[in-house]
Structure 1
Amino acid sequence: MEKLTLLIDFLFTHKLLLTLLIIVLISATKRLIIYKVRGDVSFLSDTQRKWISRTKNGTFTLLVILLFMLWQTEINKFALSVTAIAIAIVVASKEIILCFTGSIQRASSRSFVIGDWIEVGSLCGEVIEHNLMATVIQEIDLHHGQYHYTGKTATFPNSTFFTYPVKNLNFMKRYVYHNFTITVPKFVNLYPLFPSLTVQIEQHCEDFHEVAKRYNSIIEKHAGVDLPGSEPHIHVSSGATGEQHVHIMIFCPTERASHLEQSIREDFMLAYEKEFAC
């Protein structure tokens, strides 16, 4: 008992050594928990990512609290000594403060959780981690009409939430309103092609039409707005130099959007060639 008391007194006398010991123990505990959660799987599930993120945030918070309690006396003395330069410290730590408040804003608004698809500025991707300072996403190529992972990981500070709106695209993980445009250089009457093209699109979507209809209804109820619907939509607009743009929108499974687009483009081109062949 006396040896334990002497050891404790020694550690509290040598706070740097105690600080190092606390950091090592908490880091080792964090690594062990993450190792147990990750297991031997090649790809992490949303549940695993959530627990890994909670472990990292929890151990970091615990470390900060313990070190603050350990060095409280020194921190108080230091705070008194820097009162004259408090304004300079606030200015210098502006970005850090914004990151903390951005994290609080995200948590209070519940704008997204780990596993959601989000768009922030020009970045689109699936959230794989978030903490007090930054958010990490696995980038998805949405701006080019694709819905696959690019293999890039993007990390942005939470202060970004005060600069750009956060768009939650989570419903797009299963079904998506896929829009694409076909440009016709000649100014001809394209409307006679649309009835047969609509039938062909419906045939392409026949195997998932009922599921798409139900899922569309669920999204409408959740969002509280009247969405376009699960049926295909076709309309035409004209360009500045006389060309015509055929805009097509379908509601389909996200992983099949690109393939369906190519099939519909082929159907349109065959019908156009047959109708307006010279």
Structure 2
Amino acid sequence: MFENVDWLPDNFVISDAVLSLLASSAILIVTVIILRALTTRFIQRTVNSPELRGKWLVNSRNGFLLLLMLGLVMIWGEELRTLALSIVAIAVAFVVATKELILCFTGSILKSGSRSFVLGDRIQIKDLRGDVIDQSLLATTILEVGPGKHLHQRTGRRIVIPNALFVSEPVINESFTTHYDFHVFTVPFKREDNWQAAQQALQIAADHHCQPYLELVRRYMSKIGSQRGLVMPSVDPRVTIQVPVAGEIHLTVRIPAKAGERNFIEQAILTEVFSENDFSAPRPGRAEDRAASSSSESLRTQGR
């Protein structure tokens, strides 16, 4: 029946060490089987109580099985240790090769468990900012908003972010609320400019554009604060002063805005303020220069 063994390769050779281990294992198995058979026969002939006989038979069977397993482990211990080291090496190589994929899966679990954002939210991670349009186990897709972190118009570019970034980088969610939100923008001035008039003009324009829905925002923010246990700040428009560097005054405008209309309201306020006012500093020598120019012109005329 085994005359034609075509499935074995021609150079298949079993080493003497493996043959010795196989022989030792066979001897151990045969010895355990013989001892178990003799022990079973002895128990059946000498023990009269059925309950005690069954108990001893079960205990002897389990004892010989444990003895067999310990013997095989002792015989094949060196080979098992080598196999375990090979498995560990393969596992380490697999982890190193698929590190990014594992981080992507981990990031997906992290953002889902922490509820960092949902579809439609506007997020920023590192220098990437946009509206979330798709999520998967490996990546998150956003429509870019910007350029920069102060603009709110879509650039038309789609960005695919690997979820591995969510493991090591903080995520900024600009869509904390769904209907109304706070919007902040900064207007820089020089120290000598008429920034006091600009502050007043910005405050008037912000109050004017936010007045139609200000009471709705106040009730909505109060509801959000009650639901989430937060103390919500005042929703009234305000203009504050900052001095980031010497010689400059920055007016920071904070207004409540409808979701999706932050850029529209910002542009409306800036257009209203700067189309009707000029806040640049006056030049002291401008009148004197004109007077000197007129005098020189008259002298040239008299000389002719």
TM range (shorter): 0.5 to 0.7
| Aligned match for 2:212, one of 207, 213, 223 | 207
1:263 shift after superposition = 3.5
- 1:26-66 CA distance string (max 9 Å, x none): xxxxxxxxxxxxxxxxxxxxxxxxxxxxxxxxxxxxxxxxx
| Aligned match for 2:163, one of 158, 171, 175 | 158
Question: What corresponds to 1:58 in structure 2?
Answer: none
Question: What corresponds to 1:149 in structure 2?
Answer: 154
1:162 shift after superposition = 1.1
- 1:69-90 CA distance string (max 9 Å, x none): xxxxxxxxxxx98665332122
| Aligned match for 2:230, one of 225, 228, 244 | 225
1:229 shift after superposition = 2.2
Matched, 1:108 2:139: no
Question: What corresponds to 2:174 in structure 1?
Answer: 169
Matched, 1:127 2:132: yes
1:231 shift after superposition = 0.8
Matched, 1:180 2:185: yes
- 1:131-161 CA distance string (max 9 Å, x none): 2222222222273433233222111221111
Once residues 86 and 149 of structure 1 are traced to their aligned partners in structure 2, the CA distance between those partners, rounded to angstroms, is 44
Select between 196-205 and 126-135 the one with higher mean Cα deviation: 196-205
Instruction: Point out which structure has higher relative CO (alpha carbons under 8 A, 6+ apart).
Output: 1
1:251 shift after superposition = 1.1
| Letter matched to residue 119 of structure 2 | I
Question: What corresponds to 1:96 in structure 2?
Answer: 101
- Distance change (3 Å), C-alpha of 1:248 and 1:150: same
Once residues 150 and 96 of structure 1 are traced to their aligned partners in structure 2, the CA distance between those partners, rounded to angstroms, is 29
RMSD: 3.3
Once residues 253 and 101 of structure 2 are traced to their aligned partners in structure 1, the CA distance between those partners, rounded to angstroms, is 45
1:241 shift after superposition = 4.5
| Letter matched to residue 214 of structure 2 | H
- Distance change (3 Å), C-alpha of 1:170 and 1:277: same
Once residues 184 and 84 of structure 1 are traced to their aligned partners in structure 2, the CA distance between those partners, rounded to angstroms, is 63
TM-score, normalised relative to structure 1: 0.59
Larger Rg: 2
Structure 2 unmatched ranges of 5 or more: 1-84, 284-304
Alignment of 1:72-87 (within 5 A): 84-87=89-92
Once residues 275 and 253 of structure 1 are traced to their aligned partners in structure 2, the CA distance between those partners, rounded to angstroms, is 32
| Letter matched to residue 256 of structure 2 | F
Once residues 147 and 173 of structure 1 are traced to their aligned partners in structure 2, the CA distance between those partners, rounded to angstroms, is 16
- Distance change (3 Å), C-alpha of 1:277 and 1:206: farther
| Letter matched to residue 260 of structure 1 | I
Question: What corresponds to 1:47 in structure 2?
Answer: none
Query: Among the aligned pairs, what percent are the same residue?
Result: 34
Once residues 89 and 279 of structure 2 are traced to their aligned partners in structure 1, the CA distance between those partners, rounded to angstroms, is 82
Once residues 116 and 263 of structure 1 are traced to their aligned partners in structure 2, the CA distance between those partners, rounded to angstroms, is 24
Matched, 1:260 2:265: yes
1:269 shift after superposition = 3.9
- 1:205-230 CA distance string (max 9 Å, x none): 12221222223323434554334322
Once residues 105 and 240 of structure 1 are traced to their aligned partners in structure 2, the CA distance between those partners, rounded to angstroms, is 39
Structure 1 unmatched ranges of 5 or more: 1-79
Q: State the SS of the aligned residue for 1:246.
A: strand
Once residues 208 and 151 of structure 1 are traced to their aligned partners in structure 2, the CA distance between those partners, rounded to angstroms, is 30
Question: What corresponds to 2:141 in structure 1?
Answer: 136
Q: State the SS of the aligned residue for 1:205.
A: helix
Please say if residues 147 and 254 of structure 1, whose CA atoms lie closer than 8 Å, have aligned partners that are also in contact.
no
- Distance change (3 Å), C-alpha of 1:91 and 1:244: same
Once residues 111 and 275 of structure 1 are traced to their aligned partners in structure 2, the CA distance between those partners, rounded to angstroms, is 44
TM-score, normalised relative to structure 2: 0.55
